[in-house]
């Protein structure tokens, strides 16, 4: 077996460690939540892998997390009998950051510890938070299925490097030993540990156990008994009746499932009964994660809904449970009907999953509509936050989810000439309510920046007549208007396409005058057309403009000027 080796941390790890210790100190106790959360994930992974390979349990299927401490040695140990790590896995998982969104995270850091602590929270705190309270961390682990001689001991002071060496470990799983810093003795107390578990980790489904302690009157101190005591509720939160779950419990559970540091924006918890029985607990995060736009190895973006079957964890990021435009949703679905022993592939194809997915989409859209249409200011504010963080993603749904197109359209928010502000606050229903007498269409302009949209010469006649125009400048807006041709029976119309047809809003006299002018200047337009040659299809006199001398217009069925620009940028 390999001798002890010293390896350097990846540069980003060092940077993260430094930040973590400095900006999260006031929240130092969260290290326990992170380590318990990892232990619980490790047990979930084992349970899943063991479905097809029961020998991985090595005769011990009683999965749990154990907390223990040694006052004399000043160590605190978090142990689990989950999947464990091989030497290579320890090096990879505890020495590097392999997460997507890492680059964005590091480039968004500001140096202001207050702001950065929020960013770290969003990025994921994780294992390295142990170094907030420990000046040395020893990890002893053995992967399930490997022989007892192939354990690994990983050790680091959280500075530039760590060591790894082979050790014997009889039981599979992981022990994380924290050698506490000077002044962190508060964590060497059963009372403190139990109250932290209650505060942060009560919702963990696995039992979290400690050795029982009793007060010894004669000795005048507590003595540790050789008997375990479970210190969390250890019941699946989502199986409990809603009325018995507090908001704080929902929030704590969110932080665990979503690996987030901050509170969620909203959640929905429902038990669906009938031909298909399942429970949904779905959350909208308070902020967009760093990897919302990253495409992973399989080319897909990360999804965040976990699948359970009869309370047993089956998989993370179950892509089939949520469409891509709702990939920011976090939480879980627990089905009573799916078979436990099926492969991921089969699960992904199953009809039950399609039904569940349909139900989840409706539930999430309903939750969003609830916020958007609520009379409560706090809900309205939440919807505004939601839109700011996730609006661009939701817009994808207009072209992605035909069945729910109308509902998604109702949730869209745009900038418009009504306020001329860049914030997207105008719904299509607001627009329709403000339409002029005789106005039949919903007008919009697309451009590659808000300023360009707002200052588009195509708007001149609309401004003059006081007709509202939606100002679209997100790249995805071209996709939206490409798929959303009408709302509430009113067609959407680009102001930059085709002949300007204002329908009943047109002024007959103006139109006649324009036709006359067009006739008079026929020679000029012919000449300009001749001079521009192939570059244009036609040159016309227009009513569109009030200040500008000329503008470019696309044909009704051609790609718009803005889309043509986008396509060129992406190399098409």
**Parallel/antiparallel/unpaired status of strands 304-309 and 330-335:** parallel
**Residue 543: count of CB within 10 angstroms of its CB:** 19
> From its phi and psi, is residue 463 left (phi > 0), alpha (psi between -120 and 50) or beta?
alpha
What are 317's two structure tokens?
């990021």
Q: Is 315 annotated in some ligand binding site?
A: no
Dihedral angle, C-alpha 307, 242, 208, 174, nearest 10 °: 20
Beta-bridge partner residues of 65:
80, 208
Does residue 366 have a known ligand-binding role? Answer: no
Backbone torsions φ then ψ of 492, nearest 5 degrees: -90, 135
Beta strands in 422-564 (DSSP E): 442-446, 470-472, 486-487, 490-494
Q: Exposed (0-12), middle (13-18) or buried (19+): which is 213, by Cβ within 10 Å?
A: middle
Min. distance of Cβ 40 from ligand ADP in angstroms? 9
Contact with ligand ADP (CB under 6 A): which of 23, 30, 38, 480? 38
Check whether 23 is labelled as a binding-site residue.
no
> What residues contact residue 421 under an 8 Å CB cut-off, 6+ apart?
415
Place of tokens 């207009």: 398
Rounded to 5 degrees, φ, ψ at 216 are -105, 110
Contact 462, 495 (CB under 8 A): yes
**Which of the ranges 118-126, 178-186, 192-200, 261-269 carries the binding residues for Mg ion, by CB under 5 A?**
118-126
Q: Which stretch binds ligand ADP (CB under 6 A): 32-40, 197-205, 393-401, 485-493?
A: 32-40
76 vs 94 by CB, closer to ligand ADP: 94
Name the strands in the sheet holding 415-416, side by side, starting at the edge strand that comes first in the sequence.
415-416, 470-472, 442-446, 490-494, 486-487
Is residue 127 part of an annotated ligand binding site? yes
List 84, 95, 101, 126, residue binding Mg ion (CB under 5 A):
126
Q: Which stretch binds ligand ADP (CB under 6 A): 76-84, 185-193, 236-244, 389-397?
A: 76-84
Question: What residue 291 binds from Mg ion, ligand ADP, none (CB within 5 to 8 A, per partner kind)?
Answer: none
Interacting residues with ligand ADP between 511 and 530 (CB under 6 A): none
- The residue range among 7-15, 21-29, 31-39, 114-122 that interacts with ligand ADP, by the rule CB under 6 A, is 31-39
| CA–CA dist 521, 508 (Å, integer) | 20
8-state DSSP, 414: B
Confirm or deny that 565 is annotated as ligand binding: no
Annotated binding-site residue? 149: no
Q: Could you tell me the smallest distance in angstroms from the CB atom of residue 37 to ligand ADP?
A: 7
Whether 123 has a binding-site annotation, put simply, is yes
Count Cβ atoms within 10 A of the Cβ of residue 538 and give its class: 0-12 exposed, 13-18 middle, 19 or more buried.
exposed
Number of Cα atoms under 13 Å in the Cβ half of residue 464: 14
Show contacts with ligand ADP in window 257-316 (CB under 6 A): 259
Residue 85 contact partner, candidates Mg ion, ligand ADP, none, CB within 5 to 8 A by sort of partner: ligand ADP
CB atoms within 10 A of CB 55: 9
State how far the alpha carbon of 191 is from the alpha carbons of 69, 186, 337, in Å: 12, 9, 41
541 and 514 Cβ atoms separated by less than 8 Å: yes
Q: How far is the CB of 125 from ligand ADP (least distance, A)?
A: 7
Instruction: Report how many residues bind ligand ADP under the rule CB under 6 A.
Output: 17
The site partner of 289 among Mg ion, ligand ADP, none (C-beta below 5 to 8 Å per kind) is none
Cβ distance to ligand ADP smaller for residue 137 or 445: 137
Interacting stretch for Mg ion, rule CB under 5 A, among 36-44, 310-318, 319-327, 549-557?
A: 36-44
**Closest separation between CB of residue 45 and ligand ADP, Å?**
7
Of 78-137, binders to ligand ADP (CB under 6 A) are: 80, 82-85, 93-94, 124, 126-127
**17 interacts with ligand ADP by CB under 6 A:** no
Binder of residue 175, out of ligand ADP, Mg ion, none (CB less than 5 to 8 A by kind): none
For residue 137, say whether it is annotated as part of any ligand binding site. no
CB of 164 to ligand ADP, least distance (A): 14
Q: Choose among Mg ion, ligand ADP, none what residue 210 binds, the Cβ cut-off being 5 to 8 Å by kind.
A: none
Give the nearer residue to ligand ADP in terms of CB position, either 34 or 291.
34
Residue with nearest beta carbon to ligand ADP:
126
Of 35-43, 159-167, 268-276, 286-294, which segment contacts ligand ADP by CB under 6 A?
A: 35-43
The answer on whether 344 is annotated among ligand-binding residues is: yes
**From start to end of 71-219, where are the E strands?**
75-80, 134-142, 151-156, 161-167, 173-180, 208-216
Q: What are phi and psi of 344, to 5 degrees?
A: -55, -45
Q: Is 38 in the site for Mg ion (CB under 5 A)?
A: yes
The least distance separating Mg ion from the CB of residue 232, rounded to whole angstroms, comes to 17
Kindly identify the residues of this chain, within the stretch 138-177, that bind ligand ADP according to CB under 6 A: 174
- Strand ranges for 488-532 from DSSP E: 490-494
39 binds ligand ADP (CB under 6 A): yes
Residue 304 φ then ψ, to 5°: -130, 20
Under the rule (CB under 5 A), what is the footprint of Mg ion?
A: 38, 126
Under the rule (CB under 6 A), what is the footprint of ligand ADP?
A: 34, 38-39, 41-42, 80, 82-85, 93-94, 124, 126-127, 174, 259
State the binding site for ATP. 34, 38, 80, 85, 99-101, 122-127, 174, 344
């Amino acid at each position: 077996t390999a001798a002890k080796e010293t390896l350097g941390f990846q540069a980003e790890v060092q940077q993260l460690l430094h930040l973590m210790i400095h900006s999260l100190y006031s929240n130092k106790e969260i290290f326990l939540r992170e380590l318990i959360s990892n232990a619980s994930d490790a047990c979930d992974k084992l349970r899943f892998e063991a479905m097809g390979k029961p020998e991985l349990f090595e005769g011990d299927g009683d999965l749990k997390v154990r907390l223990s401490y040694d006052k004399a040695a000043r160590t605190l140990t978090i142990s689990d009998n989950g999947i464990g790590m091989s030497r290579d896995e320890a090096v990879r998982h505890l020495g590097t950051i392999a997460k997507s969104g890492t680059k964005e995270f590091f480039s968004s850091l500001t140096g202001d510890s207050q702001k950065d602590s929020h960013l770290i929270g969003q990025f994921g705190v994780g294992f390295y938070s142990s170094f907030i309270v420990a000046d040395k961390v020893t990890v002893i682990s053995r992967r399930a299925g490997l022989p007892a001689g192939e354990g690994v001991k990983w050790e680091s002071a959280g500075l530039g490097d760590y060591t790894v060496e082979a050790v014997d470990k009889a039981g599979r799983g992981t022990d994380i030993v924290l050698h506490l810093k000077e002044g962190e003795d508060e964590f060497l107390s059963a009372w403190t540990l139990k109250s932290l578990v209650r505060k942060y980790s009560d919702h963990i489904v696995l039992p979290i156990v400690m050795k029982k302690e009793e007060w010894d009157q004669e000795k005048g101190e507590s003595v540790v008994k050789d008997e375990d005591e479970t210190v969390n509720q250890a019941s699946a939160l989502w199986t409990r009746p809603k009325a018995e779950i507090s908001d704080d419990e929902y929030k704590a559970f969110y932080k665990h499932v979503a690996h987030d540091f901050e509170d969620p924006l909203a959640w929905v918890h429902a038990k669906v009964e009938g031909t298909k029985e399942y429970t949904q607990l779905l959350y909208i995060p308070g902020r967009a994660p760093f990897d919302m736009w990253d495409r992973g190895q399989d080319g897909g973006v990360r999804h965040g809904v976990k699948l359970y079957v009869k309370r047993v964890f089956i998989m993370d990021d179950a892509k089939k449970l949520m469409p891509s435009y709702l990939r920011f949703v976090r939480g879980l679905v627990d089905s009573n009907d799916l078979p436990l022993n099926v492969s991921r592939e089969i699960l992904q194809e199953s009809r039950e999953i399609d039904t569940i997915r349909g139900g989840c989409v409706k539930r999430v859209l309903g939750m969003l509509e609830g916020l958007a249409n609520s009379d409560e200011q706090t809900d309205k504010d939440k919807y505004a936050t939601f839109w700011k963080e996730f609006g661009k993603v939701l817009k994808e749904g207009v072209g992605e989810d035909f069945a729910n197109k109308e509902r998604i359209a109702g949730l869209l928010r745009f900038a418009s000439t009504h306020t001329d502000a860049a914030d997207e606050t105008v719904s299509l229903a607001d627009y329709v309510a403000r339409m002029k007498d005789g106005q039949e269409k919903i007008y919009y302009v697309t451009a590659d920046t808000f300023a360009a949209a707002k200052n588009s010469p195509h708007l001149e006649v609309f401004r003059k007549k006081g007709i509202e125009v939606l100002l679209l400048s997100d790249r995805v807006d071209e996709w939206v208007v490409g798929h959303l041709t009408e709302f509430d029976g009113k067609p959407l119309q680009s102001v930059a396409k085709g002949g300007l047809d204002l329908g009943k809003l047109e002024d007959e006299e103006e139109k006649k005058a324009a036709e006359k002018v067009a006739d008079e200047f026929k020679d000029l337009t012919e000449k300009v057309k001749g001079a521009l040659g192939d570059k244009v299809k036609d040159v016309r006199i227009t009513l569109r403009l009030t200040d500008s001398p000329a503008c470019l217009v696309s044909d009704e069925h051609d790609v718009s000027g803005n889309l043509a620009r986008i396509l060129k940028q992406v190399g098409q």
